[in-house]
Chains A and B, each alone.
Chain A
Amino acid sequence: NAGVTQTPKFQVLKTGQSMTLQCAQDMNHEYMSWYRQDPGMGLRLIHYSVGAGITDQGEVPNGYNVSRSTTEDFPLRLLSAAPSQTSVYFCASSFGRRNQPQHFGDGTRLSIL
């Protein structure tokens, strides 16, 4: 099993550009989520999904879109990149939403110039 795979690992964008961060898991997990981590801080939840076709907002959703068309994939879209979105982005998945440990990817390091 590959676990949770995030691509790309690094990306530099210019302000106003759009891009999609990819997240895929091969564990048949229903629950998936996206976090961002700024320097010296903990993780903050952006969006999450409890199954294919179902998504909801987390703590910091503004500027990001998600969709969940399959169980395996949960892409995160930046619509118009801003310097404030410079961060490390982590995708996670778990078997269920409640009382289930989350498995994290290795992250995407994103810089917005």
Chain B
Amino acid sequence: DAKTTQPTSMDCAEGRAANLPCNHSTISGNEYVYWYRQIHSQGPQYIIHGLKNNETNEMASLIITEDRKSSTLILPHATLRDTAVYYCIVSGANFGNEKLTFGTGTRLTIIP
């Protein structure tokens, strides 16, 4: 399974875009990049996922580099409610959710 590397913590000013990086240099061609977040010990919440192309939904945008070795999650207008731990996870097309590995993620703090 491809491993991911994320910064331990980040701060972002309220109202600004929060850009969370993730390195997955050993990712293979059929592995997806998933992002989840966990707000104050609640259950993790799915945000977005992608394979090659950039993706956008109502919560965030996901930018995957052309070589797919890294990605960035973008929260376009961060609010205080976006303070959470964000997990970047790589998941293969040939195995299931039982292979997902939730590391320690990035603790994002939104500053008023």
Contacts and interface: CB of A to CB of B under 8 A. Distances in A.
B46 A101 contact: yes
Interface residues of B, number: 24
Contacts of A56: 98
Contact of B96 (A42, A43, A50): A50
Interface in A60-113: 88, 90, 92, 94, 96-107
Query: Size class of A's contact patch?
Result: 20 to 34
Contacts of B87: 42
A4 B94 CA distance: 26
B43 A4 contact: yes
Contact of A43 (B32, B42, B49, B102): B102
Q: Which 6 A-B pairs have the closest CB atoms?
A: A104-B43, A97-B96, A101-B46, A42-B102, A43-B102, A48-B98
23 contacts: A4-B43, A31-B96, A33-B98, A35-B102, A40-B104, A42-B104, A43-B44, A43-B102, A45-B100, A48-B98, A50-B96, A56-B98, A92-B43, A96-B96, A98-B94, A98-B95, A99-B49, A101-B34, A101-B49, A102-B97, A104-B43, A106-B42, A107-B41
Interface of A: 4, 31, 33, 35, 40-45, 48, 50, 56, 58, 88, 90, 92, 94, 96-107
Interface of B: 32, 34, 36, 41-46, 49, 87, 91, 93-98, 100-105
